[in-house]
Amino acid sequence: MSIKNVRLEVMQAIEPKVEGFIDEFLIPTEKIWQPTDFLPDSQSDHFFDEVEKIRGEAKELGYDFWVTLVADTITEEALPTYESWLMDVEGIDQHNGKENGWSKWVRAWTAEENRHGDVLNKYLYLSGRVNMREIEITTQHLISDGFDIGTDRDPYKNFVYTTFQELATNISHKRVGKMARKKGNPLLAKMCTIIAGDEMRHHLAYREFVKTIMGQDPDGMVLAFADMMKKKIVMPAHFLRESGGTIGEAFEQFSNCAQRLGVYTAQDYIDILKKLNDYWDIGNLRGLSDQADKARVYLMKLPERLQRISERMQFSQDQYTFKWVEANGRL
Ligand SMILES: [Fe+2]
Ligand SMILES: [Fe+2]
């Protein structure tokens, strides 16, 4: 039997459980928060006063902060890339004529995620601190450029990727929220914190998917996990560019801002890996094939190796000027 068929069989075997995962990890549409819960009500007579307040508070936030918030927003806005990618993964079938649990999951997850870019985009627009047109151009470029995350159509690799990324976004939104609160921006702080909460639920769900697969096909799952870590988990917005720029050019500059600000760092990457090793109990997996056992040992040693590398790593302190955040955003 080919590797491809084993994956398909495992996905089909787990599929009846997905309905339960949706109930456990997602929140019904009518109960969950919506962007307008955190934004001025445009039907209210106080709308302009509330917008004034947002604009006043926004003046206290620094240059790296705006760049990071803009790039986080654009990353969320590129959701069409993620949904179309996941829909194409082996075993996630939206065409089989009956309701497939996995495609239902992807749609429901997308529906929750869609609120993130929505609320942040509206906030940025009202803040008056950023160049919305440049942000829109970058967003259009990013969706058009797609991404290359090295997962192929493999569900195992894709779920490792999403488990990792959901926690990475939880960390960065949470930290941006804390900074906003510190600088006297309670509304923005609330938005970021509530988004971070969604990301955490999604992380827990994908983490569970991997664990369930691990129970069915430990060899295949460990090999897929190790393969993803060898390639490194790239950010979904790694193709980020500004107007007139080339693919990926803006990403490195943004990444430096996020590092400087401490919103998402090389240490976070290592900490996430350690957490995944722990939760999936990689250290105690036994009865693996020789190849899978080698992958297991590699995964257990990797955090320490990355730690040594990260201690030598340096990132630029130079302030690059983005088209998204012009002089008006500089403090
Ligand atoms: Fe999100
Ligand atoms: Fe997410």
Do the beta carbons of residue 297 and residue 285 sit within 8 Å? no
Query: 250 and 75 in contact (C-beta within 8 Å)?
Result: no
Q: Which parts of the chain sit beneath pLDDT 50?
A: 329-331
Query: Any idea what DSSP says for residue 97?
Result: S
Q: Which residues contact 6 (CB under 8 A, 6 or more apart)?
A: 217, 220
Reply yes or no on whether 116 is catalytic: yes
* pLDDT value for 313: 81
Neighbours of 271 (CB within 10 A): 14
Predicted pLDDT of residue 4: 57
pLDDT digits (tens, 9 = 90+) for 182-234: 999 999 999 999 999 999 999 999 999 999 999 999 999 999 999 999 999 99
Residue ranges near ligand 2 (ion) with Cβ within 5 Å: 166, 169, 199, 202
Q: How far apart are alpha carbons 209 and 161 in whole angstroms?
A: 12
Respond yes or no: is residue 166 known to be catalytic: yes
136 is catalytic: no
Task: Tell me whether residue 141 is one of the annotated catalytic residues.
Answer: no
The answer to whether the CB of 297 falls within 8 A of the CB of 98 is: no
Residue 318 CA to ligand 2 centre (angstroms) = 30
User: Is 9 an annotated catalytic residue?
Assistant: no
Distance 119 CA to ligand 1 centre (A): 11
Cα 247-167-178 angle, rounded to 5 deg: 95
Residue 112 structure tokens: 């929750």
- Cα–Cα distances in angstroms (integers) from residue 77 to residues 73, 138, 140, 285, in the given order: 6, 10, 9, 38
* 74's tokens: 């654009």
- State the pLDDT at residue 317: 80
Q: Residue count of the chain, please give it.
A: 331
In this predicted structure, what is the pLDDT of residue 330? 46
CA of 285 to the centre of ligand 1 (A): 32
Task: Count CA within 13 A, CB hemisphere, residue 269.
Answer: 18
C-alpha 116 – ligand 1 centre gap (Å)? 5
Centre of ligand 1 to C-alpha 84, Å, is: 15
**How many Å apart are CA 174 and CA 136, to the nearest integer?**
24
Buried b / exposed e over 105-128, threshold 16 CB at 10 Å, is bbebbbebbebbbbbbbbbbebbe
249 Cα–ligand 2 center, Å = 23
The DSSP 8-state label assigned to residue 287 in this structure reads S
Q: pTM score, two decimals? A: 0.95
**Cβ pair 276, 176 in contact under 8 A:** no
Taking the C-alpha atoms of residue 176 and residue 70, their distance in angstroms, rounded to an integer, is 11
What average pLDDT does the chain have? Answer: 94
